[in-house]
Structure 1
């Protein structure tokens, strides 16, 4: 009986997919061409394998390749990658968040794919005033939804397609900034920990904290993969939010800390 392992090009699909997933996990970011050459199969075969692994949540499909779902957990991912991650969870969170928004109210939304999902979920709202640093929102939200839409200025971070700068709006270069406030700030964060809410970038954290300070009510948005984690830049302590909107209930320790801080956890 021949006990030799089959040649790589003749591996069973299930075995190849397992090897492919391990390869993407090891290298973090790969192209379709590299994978086809490495596994000695066609580009179409690799594309089908990656599509299936993407559906299973093992990898994240990108234009021309894939990245590991666990790549650089503590660093910024490109928007094209993040738009493919936790899609169903973000849509559920967005629906809950939209339920907190009253017609005619003033809201602030920060950068991120979760707040982009919220903007889409507001399609049945009317007469809103919206202020944001998310450069994708003006092109995604229906003009029927808002009365006024403002984008905060600052430097542009292309990886997140957002501005980073002061939470302020000037009427002209010769007049002082107008003091602004909102009824509700909807803030997507990178991590939720007993110590507070955090993100990867110091400038983003500063801007998010200022949005929170200017809001009568604050809802933090974070899918369950971000719970119990802590990233580089703390935004604010837990008690500075009124709500945490997520797709699953937090673990017992975090849930108890949130309750003690007066934060109401909202799930679909």
Structure 2
């Protein structure tokens, strides 16, 4: 039986009934607050906080500041990266492994910020001689030093939620301050939504502009999104579905999306074991 710790350090049991109700409600609602749960279950907020802490440790949900989110919920625009890392984690690792196979040794790769691309970085350990450019402040720590020859981080405005920079896809020359454009062999772009009407989209306009610049400066473009993003349309479109060379995901896309990708000769990549 699950247990939780009271203020005096003693251990008490979390009633199975309340645990089931909490887990089911969070799963249904996607995201809830401590106050909302306390009112619903008619217990104190301290009790709810202890229950949520326990359920988080049990892997039932994700504890957040002021509440909790379902493991399968879709992140909101203000959802922090540490929470996003735990959402759809298995799917992201699958996508990361597949996307890493597109990277050729001694090539130049641009990678945008996002938890899916952090998974890609973790699977780049066998790569060698890369030049990597990214706007993610978290990605350098995930990338093996053996994989790259040079690693660059684009400058710009600091986006705290994403732990990334948002700005121009360029660098200043060390002498003279001239802006230098950059080119890459492959751009790996993780997005928050994929649909026939909206194409590849994200919630932040400036982020969409930056991804569009990466795409424009790339010889090949791969968009990455897990299946929870299918059929969604966010505020800012990055590109139409047919603009990609590759679309990397964790399972077969819905028929309508798949048909448009095939019609535009986009190579769709997902695990063979899932293919039917």
TM-score by length of 1: 0.84
- Asked if the contact 2:134–2:153 (Cα under 8 Å) also holds between the matched residues in 1, the reply is yes
Q: Secondary structure at the match of 2:44?
A: helix
**Which whole-Å CA distance do the structure 1 matches of 2:75 and 2:141 have between them?**
29
Query: Could you report, residue by residue, the CA deviation over 1:137-160 in whole angstroms, capped at 9, with x for unpaired residues?
Result: 122212111100000000000000
For residues 123 and 65 of structure 1, the distance between their equivalents in structure 2, rounded to whole angstroms, comes to 36
Select which of 114, 132, 138 maps to 1:112: 114
- Over 3 Å counting, the alpha-carbon distance change for 1:16 and 1:216 in structure 2 is same
1:158-179 CA-to-partner distances (Å, cap 9, x unmatched) read: 0000000000011137232222
Does 208-217 or 22-31 show the bigger shift?
A: 22-31
2:239 corresponds to which residue? Answer: 236
Structure 2: how far apart are the matches of 1:11 and 1:104?
Answer: 55
Contact 2:26 2:68 in 1 (8 A): no
- Counterparts of 2:163 and 2:125, CA distance in 1: 22
Give the root-mean-square deviation of aligned CA atoms: 2.9
- Partner deviation per Cα, 1:4-48 (whole Å, 9 max, x = no partner): xxxxx999514542245426865934359x859538858655433
* Separation in structure 1 between the aligned mates of residue 91 and residue 203 of structure 2, nearest angstrom: 21
Tell me the residue number matched to 2:55. Answer: 49
Q: Distance in 2 between matches of 1:40 and 1:153?
A: 43
Q: Aligned residue pairs: how many?
A: 255
Which is worse superposed, 61-70 or 168-177? 61-70
The 1:257/1:23 distance shift into structure 2, 3 A limit, reads closer
Give the Å deviation of 1:201.
0.3
Gaps of 5+ in 1: 1-8
User: Does residue 198 of structure 2 align to residue 213 of structure 1?
Assistant: no
